[in-house]
Amino acid sequence: MPYIPKDHISKTHMYLDLLSARQEALSSNLANMDTPNYVRKDVEFAQYLNSDSLLETKLSRKLGPSGVIAAKEETLSPVDELVLMQQNSILYSVASRRMSSIITEMKNAINVGT
């Protein structure tokens, strides 16, 4: 049975949180497509995934308690937003399967130990 460091759980959890926040931002972009002066929103993964500090601390310092949404000035395209939502959904599915796998391995380790 492989050993699963706590770090794997927390990183997968943070990744799931980022993907969830990105889905929220993308759906908000679609909902506000025709709103005048609306600024497209997205989540920048790179600035969080390779950091040494805890994700929640860094996000709350940068964006406040409201979430992980970063504004970008770009043209909105419904097709592009839908493609990004689908890609994001696939990544979320993979990450949730990874978390499920980690939990199953932990359960197996516990059951073997009892």
pTM score, whole prediction: 0.70
Checking DSSP bridges between strand 70-71 and strand 41-42, what pairing results, if any?
antiparallel
The whole-angstrom separation of Cα 26 and Cα 28 is 5
Mean pLDDT, range 26-49, rounded to an integer: 83
pLDDT band at 67 (very low <50, low <70, confident <90, very high): very low
Local structure of residue 35 (DSSP, 8 states): S
Residue 32 in tokens: 């506000």
The whole-angstrom separation of Cα 13 and Cα 18 is 9
The whole-angstrom separation of Cα 8 and Cα 16 is 12
- Which residue type, as a one-letter code, is found at position 54? L
